[in-house]
Amino acid sequence: MRTPSGRWLAAVAGVVVILVAAGVAVAVINPPGASETFSEDTPEGVVQRFVVALQERDYGLAHGYLSDELKKTCTVAHVEETGPWTAERFEDVRVVLLGKEELSGGRTQLRVRVTEVNVAPPFGVNEFTHRERYVLVQEDGEWRFVEPPWPIGWCPALTPPEKGG
């Protein structure tokens, strides 16, 4: 005959097994990179490649996606200083386009959903989702950020952005 503490321990072990199985199922159903891949000559593609460049710690490439004006205040060193947490904290960052709007001055605004994924055995997959806004413009035939893009958020010598944009 089992004791009450033995039954309790068996129940806890059963819950842990179910949680691990659920985490594995989420990872299989929603594998890394499951979001749509956009062409590199579109604003959406630039956003994806910028985030991937930060994730891969290629700060020179990430800096190259900034507009000429933004590069004056946001150096490669600043991008390197503010970007590494993306690579350190998360194994996968997925960007999904939610909306696109043409603004004045040839600028394009993108609203995206960013999902940051971290696998934490034995407890499964942790995901954190948030929305971000990017504003880009074409310079010399290529799309470039005109505002500090997430996760940078700000650049020296620029006034911090107002909340709620």
Domain that holds residue 101: 31-145
**What does pTM read for this prediction?**
0.68
Q: Identify the pLDDT of residue 158.
A: 60
Do the domain assignments include residue 50?
yes
pLDDT of 160 strictly over 70: no
Upper half-sphere CA count for residue 106 (Cβ side, 13 Å): 10
Assigned token pair, 12: 């806890």
Do the domain assignments include residue 17?
no
pLDDT of 145 strictly over 80: yes
- What CA–CA distance (Å, rounded) separates 116 from 93? 5
Q: Are 125 and 102 in contact (CB under 8 A)?
A: no
- What mean pLDDT, rounded, does the chain reach? 78
Do the domain assignments include residue 67?
yes
- What CA–CA distance (Å, rounded) separates 54 from 66? 13
Do the domain assignments include residue 135?
yes
Give how many domains the chain has, as a whole number.
1
Beta bridge partner(s), residue 43: none
| CATH number where 75 lies | 3.10.450.50
Long-range pairs of 104-113 with CB within 8 A, sequence gap ≥ 24: 105/137, 106/137, 106/138, 107/135, 107/136, 107/137, 107/146, 108/43, 108/135, 108/136, 108/137, 108/143, 109/133, 109/134, 109/135, 110/43, 110/44, 110/47, 110/134, 110/135, 110/136, 112/47
pLDDT of 102 strictly over 80: yes
Do the domain assignments include residue 106?
yes
Average pLDDT estimate for 38-54: 88
Do the domain assignments include residue 150?
no
Do the domain assignments include residue 93?
yes
pLDDT of 29 strictly over 50: no
pLDDT of 27 strictly over 90: no
pLDDT of 32 strictly over 50: no
Identity of the residue numbered 12: V
